[in-house]
Amino acid sequence: MSASPLEQFKITDLIELKFGGYDLSFTNSAFFMLIGFLITTTFFIAALRRATPIPGKLQSAGEMLHNFIFDTLQENTAGKGEKYMPFIFSLFVFVLTLNLLGLVPYGFTATSHLSVTFTLAIIVFILVTVIAILQHKMKFFSFFLPTGTPLFLAPLMIVIELFTYLTRPISLSVRLAANMMAGHILLSVIAGFVTVLGFWGWLPMSFIILFDGFEFFVAVLQAYIFTILSCVYLNDAINLH
What pLDDT shows up at residue 205? 65
User: C-alpha angle with apex 85: 82 to 88, nearest 5 degrees?
Assistant: 135
Low-confidence stretches of the chain (pLDDT < 50) are 1
Task: Look at residue 94 and tell me if it is in a domain.
Answer: yes
3-state SS assignment for residue 107: coil
Query: What's the CA gap between 16 and 39, in Å, rounded?
Result: 25
Query: What's the CA gap between 206 and 170, in Å, rounded?
Result: 36
Task: Look at residue 35 and tell me if it is in a domain.
Answer: yes
Task: Look at residue 2 and tell me if it is in a domain.
Answer: no
Task: Look at residue 1 and tell me if it is in a domain.
Answer: no
Task: Look at residue 6 and tell me if it is in a domain.
Answer: no
Task: Look at residue 124 and tell me if it is in a domain.
Answer: yes
Looking at residue 2, what DSSP letter applies?
P
Number of domains into which the chain is organized: 1
**CB 39: neighbour CB atoms within 10 A?**
16
- What are the tens digits of pLDDT across the range 16-66? 888 877 888 899 999 999 999 999 999 999 988 877 877 888 889 999 999
What pLDDT shows up at residue 1? 43
Range of the domain at 27: 12-239
Task: Look at residue 7 and tell me if it is in a domain.
Answer: no
What pLDDT shows up at residue 212? 76
